[in-house]
Copies of this chain bind each other. A is one copy, B any other.
Amino acid sequence: MDVRSLQLFLTLSDTLSFSRTAEQRHLSLSTVSRALQRLEDEVGQRLLERDKRTVRLTLAGERYRDYAISTLAEWQRLLGDLRPHSGDLRGEVRVYCSVTASYSVLSPILEQFRRDFPRVEILLRTGDYADAVARVQSGQEDISVVARPDKLAAALEYQTLQHSPLQFIAPAFPCAVVEQLQQLQQLISQEQDFSWAEVPFIVSERGLSKDRLDQWFRSRGERPRIYAQVAGHEAIAAMVGLGLGVGVVPELVLHNSTFRDKLQTVAARPRLGEFPVGLCALKQRLDNPLVAAFWQVARRSYATPI
């Protein structure tokens, strides 16, 4: 019994669907399945009756649901009571992130932070996430939202907040690129040879998503046909949304893109894996009470997303 599993169970009992729960919680189907197995194991009772097509609460499940609701409420109350009430702290914190992150990842944090520290100003700068680590290291920013670096400099502190799978995206309207993909799709279903090397790609100049895509092509023994190299995921989404080619972005970016309904995902194999999003700061800077406070608030916002 812990916060995460209780929340998971509530989502399950709401949706009565493992797959939708997985989606909503940004988890894989197997994770959800196993998490529920653990819960059932822990209480020694089946909580959800499932028979291949439908899922519904057992009696024990209903009881558990009540329990989960009240326990989470208590937990929220506790967090509320214990919230550091430093309304008198004042100053500023410099934060850097991508445009997408500013309203997807950062907005719940900012909201909470403003409530707890109304006197502290947030100087928010946005730009390519690939610059984020460098800007923190150089001292230009206190905190950045970044993809977790493979190697973390010892002077840096990092904290994962969220994961988002990297997705291939393509235009969602008839155009040359889409036709090409459909042909490819046919070859795949007929188990014939096929090649991604002809498809025009919009790629990042650098950063984790570029690395992953490079690796993906290497693993297939092919080389991408690069239509354009741009800075930032938003730019990729934009260009793909204009029908210029295929690209790779974290699902997070896709969901928040203004081009969302002009874009579709492509189920290319193997998958590109998860894109871990988190905060990064100089350890040294975390001594600063304001920076530390921001860090704390961020962690807590993500420990208990409603």
Q: What is the total number of residues of chain A having a CB less than 8 Å from a CB of chain B?
A: 27
A84 in the interface (beta carbon within 8 A): yes
Report if A155 contacts B (CB, 8 A). Answer: no
**For the complex, is A217 an interface residue (Cβ under 8 Å from B)?**
no
Question: Do B82 and A44 have beta carbons less than 8 Å apart?
Answer: yes
Q: Which residue of B lies closest to A45 (CB)?
A: B82
**Binary B-proximity of A49-77 (CB < 8 A = 1, otherwise 0):** 00000000000100110010011001100
* B84→A45 contact, CB < 8 A: yes
Contacts of A70 in B (CB 8 A): 74
From B2, B71, B83, B299, A74 is in contact (CB under 8 Å) with B71
**Does A300 sit at the interface, judged by CB under 8 A?**
yes
Q: Can you list 25 A-B pairs, Cβ within 8 angstroms, ordered by A?
A: A1-B2, A1-B3, A1-B75, A2-B2, A41-B299, A42-B300, A42-B303, A43-B82, A44-B82, A44-B297, A44-B299, A44-B300, A45-B84, A60-B82, A63-B81, A63-B82, A64-B78, A64-B82, A67-B74, A67-B75, A70-B74, A71-B71, A71-B74, A71-B75, A74-B74
